[in-house]
Amino acid sequence: MKLFRIRGGVHPEGRKRLSEDQPIEELPLPELLHVPLQQHIGAPAVAIVSKGDKVKKGQVIATAQGNISAPVHAPSSGTVVGLGRYAAPHPSGLPGRTITIRTDGLEEWAELPAALDAFTADPKDIAKRVSESGVVGMGGATFPSSVKLNLGQRYDLHTLIINGAECEPYLTCDDRLMRECANDITKGVRIMARALNVKRTIIAIEDNKPSAIRGMSQAASAYDDVTIIEVPARYPMGSEKHLTQTLLGLETPARGLTADIGAVVHNVATAFAVFEAVTKGIPLISRIVTVSGEAITRPSNLRVLIGTPVAKLIEHVGAYSSEPERLLLGGPMMGQPLMDLKVPLVKGTNGVLALAGLQAATQVTTTSCIRCASCVDACPCGLVPLDMAAAIRKEEMEMATKSGLMDCVGCGSCAYVCPSNIPLVQYFNYAKGRITAVQRTEHKQKETKRLADQRTERMERQAAAKREAMEKRKAEQAQKKAAQQAAQHQEQEKVSA
């Protein structure tokens, strides 16, 4: 198959060798599980258990709220001991709503929904099961998968692309999953293809994972409609828009979806989760996480229950070999700083990295922009990062938006190549946040106006009602008086007569 070139991108050192040959290990059951209610894009789930409740493994503990949301399940059996705010895996280090479960070690399963036969079931039922199982995009974006499986109803789709690129350095969790569970992934992929009703399915894997490509090719050889494609290793190949462009040669419209050009992209780990949910009824309660970095004694790939504190993972792999210079959740390019080791692992966490040595030089000094345009060459979206950052520095958000700020995928290629070490991505993140904050204020102002108008209207209505009542009373009194007077008059007349 012919591949197409994407513009820009960078070639960071892979460093996958640290953990790529480590088989997936089960992490021992932790004592406490902190399960956040917001582990996905969209509205947070609503807790349906209360403190002291006994829960079983796989039981729904929080339900989805609205169209774009996902339920949360108990990762193990035990007792709910807390329902409140707990440190969230978020760069701010702020707490978020969390259910804390003290595990009892029995691993008692709740009654799971019956297996669906994916090839006789209605595609809508498949999407429903995926939604009920709390499956979200596991590549890191955590968009509810069922919403993406229902795209076929609104778009004319022809291709399902399975993203096995794993372009971030260090991370090997998808690689290991493809090596060890190739058959299950392939089955999951075919279930998704059926739910979407697409003719063609492509599984794209970067060429730095030969064992995974071999394994997946073998598993997929039985099916004509599934093709394995080797794509060149280049960051950000795993970005869904860029992967689609590489495979189909079609560019996703600005601020649009890949569905606009007939393709839907899902991660390999998501395909595995869909397989588990549909054929076994098992909800998304665990995931594979790479624990790696130079400061980690024994880099590993672990199967971890959602809600396990990060400290437990590091403890399991033998603590640090040297003092880590930087702790990250996710990959080194797009990962977020880890503020506290007590934060729990969530559905979208694919890696825990403790970096030391040259890669994490913390003492970088930012110097002036020399307008070398390296960032322009590196940007895979065809933007001009230096101009955008300059506009943002002057708080000219409108100008930054005009230069395409909202088309930035935040891949970090520009900051990676910048010789002046300008934190370009942080400028863009700041601007995106600022713009949202301004929109929020504008919205609140509109609401305030509506409320104030309603109140004024209500006050006027009440005043009018009062006036009316008063007039009515007056009229009644006047009538009474008139009647009395008339009666008196008549009596007087009678008397005089």
Partner 1 sequence: MISAISSLALLGLALGIMLGYAAKYLKVEAGALVQEIEAMLPGSQCGQCGYPGCGPAAEAVANAKAAVTLCPPGGRALAQSLAAKLGVSADLSDMEDQVPQVAFVNEQLCIGCTKCFKRCPTDALIGANRQIHVVIKDACTGCGKCVDICPTESIQMRDVPLTLENWYWPKPDALQLAS
Residue 280 found at the interface with partner 1 (CB under 8 A) = no
CA angle 273, 277, 278 (to 5 degrees): 120
Q: Which is nearer to partner 1, 340 or 491 (CB)?
A: 340
Near partner 1 by CB under 8 A: residue from 109, 155, 223, 430: 430
**Applying CB under 8 A, which of residues 254, 361, 370, 451 lies at the interface with partner 1?**
451
**What is the C-alpha separation between 275 and 280, in angstroms, rounded?**
8
**Least distance to partner 1, CB of residue 289, Å:** 22
Which residues, numbered 295-324, are part of the site for partner 1 (CB under 8 A)?
A: none
Is 122 a binding residue for partner 1 by CB under 8 A? The answer is no
CA dist., res. 252 & res. 244, Å (int): 8
Pairwise CA distance, residues 352 & 299, whole Å: 10
Least distance from partner 1 to the Cβ atom of residue 425, Å:
9
- C-beta of 454: minimal distance to partner 1 in Å? 7
CB 428 to partner 1: min, Å: 9
Interface with partner 1, residue 455, by CB under 8 A: yes
Contact with partner 1 (CB under 8 A) among 106, 254, 319, 438: 438
Of the candidates 167, 59, 96, which has an alpha carbon nearest to the alpha carbon of residue 339? 96
Query: Which of residues 5, 17, 402, 440 is near partner 1 by CB under 8 A?
Result: 440
* Options 297, 448, 462, 477; binder of partner 1; rule CB under 8 A: 448
Provide the minimum distance between the beta carbon of 449 and partner 1 in the complex, in angstroms, as a whole number: 5
Taking CB under 8 A as the criterion, the residue among 91, 105, 210, 256 binding partner 1 is: 91
Contacts of 273 (CB under 8 A, 6+ apart): 133, 135, 138, 145, 188, 284, 287
Among 218, 445, 479, 484, binds partner 1 (CB under 8 A): 445
Q: Binding partner 1 by CB under 8 A: which of 454, 479, 485, 490?
A: 454
99, β-bridge pairs: 35, 83
The single residue listed with the structure tokens 């692992």 is: 345
CB 350, min distance to partner 1, A: 20
Stretch that binds partner 1, among 94-102, 131-139, 156-164, 171-179 (CB under 8 A): 94-102
Quick one: 108 or 396, whose CB is closer to partner 1?
Answer: 396
Among 153, 218, 367, 436, binds partner 1 (CB under 8 A): 436
Contacts of 478 by beta carbon, 8 Å cutoff, 6+ apart: none
Q: Is 54 in the site for partner 1 (CB under 8 A)?
A: no
Determine how many CB atoms are found less than 10 A away from the CB of residue 192: 28
- Phi and psi dihedrals of 160, rounded to 5? -105, 125
Closer CB to partner 1, 361 or 438, in the complex: 438
Question: For partner 1, which is the closer residue by CB, 189 or 328?
Answer: 328
Q: Does 7 bind partner 1 (CB under 8 A)?
A: no
Query: Which C-beta is closer to partner 1: that of 9 or that of 96?
Result: 96
Residue 222 and residue 456: Cα distance in Å, rounded? Answer: 71
Backbone angles phi, psi at 10, to 5 degrees: -135, 170
The binder of partner 1 chosen from 433, 462, 476, 487 (CB under 8 A): 433
Place of tokens 């890949």: 258
Options 26, 31, 122, 453; binder of partner 1; rule CB under 8 A: 453
Binding characters for partner 1, 366-405, by CB under 8 A (x = yes)? x-------------------------xx------------
Binding-site member from 27, 88, 171, 181 for partner 1 (CB under 8 A) = 88
Q: Residue 463, interface with partner 1 (CB under 8 A)?
A: no
Q: Nearest approach, Cβ of 433 to partner 1 (angstroms)?
A: 2
Interface residue with partner 1, options 28, 31, 94, 473 (CB under 8 A):
94
CB of 20 closer than 8 Å to CB of 177: no
By the rule CB under 8 A, 361 interacts with partner 1? no
Least separation in angstroms between residue 265's CB and partner 1 is 26
CB nearer to partner 1: pick between 136 and 296: 136
Residues that bind partner 1 (CB under 8 A): 38, 88, 90-92, 94-96, 366, 392-393, 422-423, 426-427, 429-430, 432-434, 436-438, 440-442, 444-445, 447-449, 451-455
